[in-house]
Amino acid sequence: MAEKGYVEITIDGQTVQAQEGEKILWAALDAGIEIPHLCAIREAHPPLGTCRLCFVEVEGEGVVASCVEPVREGMVVHTDGERAKTLRRRAMELLLADHDLECKTCVKEGNCEFLQMAISMKVKKPKNLHPFPREELPVDDSHPLIIFDPNKCIRCGKCVWVCREKAELVPFDFVYKGYDMRLTTFLSRPLGETNCTGCGECVEVCPVAALYFRKA
Amino acid sequence: MAEELQEVLAPYPVERRYLLRILQGVQQKMGYISEEALEGVASHLKISPAEVYGVATFYNQFRFIPYGKHHIVACLGTACHAMGGQLILDAFERELDIKAGGITPDHGWSLDRVGCIGCCTKAPVVVINDVIHAKMSPFKVEEVLAGLGLEMRKEKEEEEAGEGESQ
């Protein structure tokens, strides 16, 4: 039996102690067990749960998003179950299908978290998925420090979360819904005209090159 | 405008949970939610205008442009769609030179599309200023618009243009 305030769970046959209420993802990562993830922020309550890359299988429960599901005493988790793996791969394929992958001309030059995750998951841009064409949106370079390229955004929501933690009034948020959902400022005004201070927290967490620092 | 907005805002305490009810109130009072209203609501609730914009755009019930003098609603529900509702909408867009969800620059005409208005036996249906026009056809679109004065407006413009040339 685990210490008070801790629970004991099994992940891929390994016994892991985790703090009560901790999410499976963090329990696994702390124990050195890798689960793909892009949108996860440990401090985010409730978790963002937007990228859908962290699916695992829990015995008796089925497939769950490990960044959202809290640990419970005696839980048996499999990270490499076929169903979870298929769903994770599919989620990555959908993200890739909707991303231009012009890495050669991208400011992050393929060194972004998103591409690294795709490579580590061994998922390539699917040829059989044809998303509705998106309107090419203008790159917003009005801000003295931060450049915003909405076309690169994968809508993970990390930038909005960190901004909300730091700023009283966030300069941007998601607008519309479903396929049309996108990140933008109030009335899509230039970022330079908002109250954005350019602290760069959003740039630090952006897994793609949607938000990046202006080169000096 | 500002006074009307204050009237809507006044009864609500500064708590973000009232955001949706306030937006609904604004729309009910003014017919649509203007840019100034969005900013006014944000400053009243002390939340970011970007957040208010995000919430408002999430819901289809909110409109951000005013109604025209004549408001046209083209039905594209299942029955109307099957009976050529899209052709009717196309005809309105062509005649008025605006897209669905738009308004003419003189605010004379606004055009919207809806899912179903519930009189499918009369498909394809169009509602103009709360009057139902049944069994529409692209030809009847011109007729209806002419009846409401669109042609007259066009002729007037032509006359004005003609006068301009002669001078």
pLDDT digits 0-9 by tens, B90-112: 999 999 999 999 999 999 999 99
pLDDT, residue A110, reads: 83
Q: Is the pLDDT of residue B160 over 70?
A: no
Query: Among all residues of chain B, which has the CA nearest to that of A170?
Result: B48
Residues of B in contact with A169 (CB under 8 A): 47-50
Q: Is residue B98 part of a domain?
A: yes
Q: Is the pLDDT of residue B152 over 60?
A: no
Same-domain status, B8 and B43: yes
Summarised one tens digit per residue, pLDDT across range B33-53 is: 999 999 999 999 999 999 999
Same-domain status, B102 and B138: yes
Same-domain status, B26 and B90: no
Summarised one tens digit per residue, pLDDT across range B53-67 is: 999 999 989 999 999
| Residue B96 lies in domain | 70-148
Q: Is the pLDDT of residue B155 over 90?
A: no
B96 CB-contact burial (10 Å; exposed 0-12 / middle 13-18 / buried 19+): buried
pLDDT, residue B148, reads: 87
pLDDT, residue B159, reads: 64
Q: Is the pLDDT of residue B153 over 60?
A: no
* Least Cα separation, residue A165 to chain B (angstroms): 13
Same-domain status, B21 and B48: yes
CA distances from B151 to B104, B142, B146, B156, B167 (A): 14, 9, 5, 8, 24
Q: Compute the distance between CA of residue A96 and CA of residue A125 in angstroms, rounded to an integer.
A: 5
Q: How confident is the model at residue A43 (pLDDT cuts 50, 70, 90)?
A: very high
Summarised one tens digit per residue, pLDDT across range A96-121 is: 999 989 999 999 988 999 999 999 99
The answer for A122, left when phi > 0, alpha when psi is -120 to 50, beta otherwise, is left
Same-domain status, B74 and B35: no
**What does the pLDDT average to over A25-51?**
96
**What does the pLDDT average to over A63-80?**
96
Summarised one tens digit per residue, pLDDT across range B69-94 is: 999 999 999 999 999 999 999 999 99
Enumerate the H helices of chain B as residue ranges. 2-9, 19-30, 35-45, 49-58, 78-82, 85-96, 138-147, 150-166
**B129 touching A (Cβ < 8 Å):** no
Q: Is the pLDDT of residue A72 over 90?
A: yes
Summarised one tens digit per residue, pLDDT across range A124-169 is: 999 999 888 899 999 999 999 999 999 999 999 999 999 999 998 9
Same-domain status, B11 and B45: yes
**What does the pLDDT average to over A40-66?**
96
Same-domain status, B28 and B83: no
| Percent of chain A clearing pLDDT 70 (strictly above) | 99
* Least Cα separation, residue B100 to chain A (angstroms): 17
* CATH code assigned at B90: 3.40.30.10
pLDDT, residue A2, reads: 67
pLDDT, residue A1, reads: 59
> Is residue B125 helix, strand or coil?
coil
What is the DSSP code string of chain A? -PPTTEEEEEETTEEEEEETT-BHHHHHHHTT-----SS--TT-SS----S---EEEETTTEEEETTTSBP-TT-EEESS-HHHHHHHHHHHHHHHHTS---TTTSTTTT-SHHHHHHHHTT----SS--PPPPPPPPPB--SSSEEE-GGG-----HHHHHHHHH-SS-SEEEES-GGG-EEEEGGG--GGGSS-----HHHHH-SSSSEEEPP-
Query: Among all residues of chain A, which has the CA nearest to that of B47?
Result: A169
pLDDT, residue B167, reads: 47
Q: What is the mean pLDDT of chain B?
A: 90
- Tell me B103's DSSP state: B
Same-domain status, B93 and B134: yes
Q: Is residue B119 part of a domain?
A: yes
Q: Compute the distance between CA of residue A193 and CA of residue A171 in angstroms, rounded to an integer.
A: 9
Q: Compute the distance between CA of residue A153 and CA of residue A136 in angstroms, rounded to an integer.
A: 12
Contact A206, A212 (CB under 8 A): yes
Same-domain status, B77 and B134: yes
Lowest mean pLDDT among A22-31, A157-166, B34-43, B146-155: B146-155
Instruction: Give the tokens for residue B25.
Output: 């109130």
Instruction: Give the tokens for residue B65.
Output: 């442009």
Same-domain status, B130 and B81: yes
pLDDT, residue B163, reads: 63
Same-domain status, B94 and B144: yes
As for how many domains chain B has, the answer is 2
Q: Is residue B156 part of a domain?
A: no
Chains A–B, number of C-beta pairs less than 8 Å apart = 38
Strands B126-128, A182-185: parallel, antiparallel or unpaired by DSSP? Answer: unpaired
Query: Among all residues of chain A, which has the CA nearest to that of B36?
Result: A187
Domains of chain A, first to last: 6-87 (3.10.20.740), 135-216 (3.30.70.20)
Q: Choose the mutation target among B48, B61, B63, B64 for the interface with A, i.e. most A CBs under 10 Å.
A: B48
B23 Cβ contact partners less than 8 Å away, ≥ 6 residues apart: B33, B41, B52, B55, B56, B62
